[in-house]
Amino acid sequence: MKHLIIIFLSTLVTISFSGCSSKEGVTPSENKALNDVSPAHKTKKGYYLQKKLDGWLKNDWTPTMKKNEVVEKKYEENSSRNFTLQEYVEKAALYIKTHPSDPEHSHMKKLESMPVIGK
């Protein structure tokens, strides 16, 4: 009896998985059988945080890096190389030096005033 159950279940699984692939070698978005079961919904507009990050990179981070010739020469001349953590640390230090935070615009004052977190 166990043998029949195993054969039945393996046959059922094989049929289920083979039904999802109408053509071999196509991407999931081009697979008609898969899209009938679970259609892909593409969103055309980006999310809020992604838009904010993209805007900050375009309007603030990139112009700051392009103003400094040392960083520009050191990291931008060979664009085919791999990204390194040292590159990020040096660029972040440059950004912090050119954009110092003052206590008025810092979030530390707000955090310290919170009853559970602060003093």
3-state secondary structure labels for all residues of the chain: CHHHHHHHHHHHHHHHHHHCCCCCCCCHHHCHHHHHHCCCCCCCCCCHHHHHHHHHHHHHHHHHHHHCHHHHHHHHCCCCCCCCHHHHHHHHHHHHHHCCCCCCCCCHHHHHHCCCCCC
pLDDT at residue 31 is higher than 60:
yes
pTM listed for this prediction? 0.47
Residue-wise pLDDT tens digits, 66-116: 888 888 777 776 667 787 898 889 889 988 888 877 777 777 777 777 777
